[in-house]
């Protein structure tokens, strides 16, 4: 099995789907945000504040390359597609874009009290939607498979990914 890379905006379901998809495929899961928090030794929001986004993105690119060396299901951070180097790295990989309606994404982000995102703290709903729309074309361009997660249960999404990967 080649690695399956899940991309999409905050709240699209990358973490949830990566775990369920990996279990269904009996594969290893790499949640890049979790690994990065472990490596940098602090929450991403604090790291962003202290060291800036550029420093964080360097760690992210390094981890992406490393994770792709092993067969796994990889849940990326929402901004992984912003770096040109990452776009090159992902261009020939099995990339699945978990897409959702902008209103659904904002609602999920606001309701998630466990995974508080740095960009959600300092941006209002309109800013988050603009951020999503500014990234949407990149997600679409990099994706080999696109699955709308707006109104589906995790198991339905996993089944759809497995079907599309198999075909």
pLDDT digits (tens, 9 = 90+) for 68-114: 998 999 999 888 999 999 999 999 999 999 999 999 998 888 787 66
Q: CA-to-CA distance for 4 and 117, rounded, in angstroms?
A: 24
Q: CA-to-CA distance for 167 and 164, rounded, in angstroms?
A: 5
| Edge-to-edge order in the sheet of strand 4-7 | 28-31, 72-75, 4-7, 94-99, 145-148
pLDDT of residue 2: 87
pLDDT-above-90 percentage for the chain: 72
Query: Rounded mean pLDDT of 147-155?
Result: 95
Query: Rounded mean pLDDT of 26-35?
Result: 94
Confidence label for 64 from pLDDT (cuts 50, 70 and 90): very high
Q: Which of 135, 52, 116, 21 is nearest to 31 (CA)?
A: 21
pLDDT of residue 30: 96
pLDDT of residue 118: 65
Q: In this structure, what is the dihedral angle of CA atoms 122, 124, 129, 132, given to the nearest 10 degrees?
A: 10
pLDDT digits (tens, 9 = 90+) for 31-49: 999 999 999 999 888 888 8
Question: CA distances (Å), 139 to each of 38, 87, 98, 113, 134, in order?
Answer: 26, 10, 9, 25, 10
pLDDT of residue 114: 67
Query: Rounded mean pLDDT of 134-138?
Result: 95
pLDDT at residue 121 greater than cutoff 90: no
Cα 107 → chain centroid:
17
Average pLDDT over the chain reads 91
Instruction: Characterize the bridge pairing of strands 94-99 and 72-75.
Output: unpaired
Higher pLDDT, 46 or 122: 46
């Amino acid at each position: 099995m080649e690695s399956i890379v899940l991309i999409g905006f905050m709240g699209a379901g990358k973490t949830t789907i990566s775990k369920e998809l990996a279990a269904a495929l009996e594969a290893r899961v790499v949640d890049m945000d979790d690994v990065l928090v472990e490596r940098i030794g602090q929450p991403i929001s604090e790291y962003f504040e202290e060291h800036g986004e550029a420093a964080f993105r360097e760690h992210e690119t390094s981890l992406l390359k490393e994770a792709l060396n092993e067969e796994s299901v990889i849940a990326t951070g929402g901004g992984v597609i912003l770096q040109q180097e990452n776009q090159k790295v992902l261009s020939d990989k099995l990339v699945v874009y978990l897409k959702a309606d902008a209103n659904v994404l904002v609602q999920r982000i606001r309701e998630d009290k466990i995974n508080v995102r740095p960009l959600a703290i300092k941006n209002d709903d309109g800013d988050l939607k603009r951020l999503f729309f500014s990234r949407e074309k990149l997600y679409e361009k990099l994706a080999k498979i696109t699955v709308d997660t707006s109104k589906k249960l995790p198991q339905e999404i996993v089944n759809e990914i497995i079907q599309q990967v198999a075909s």
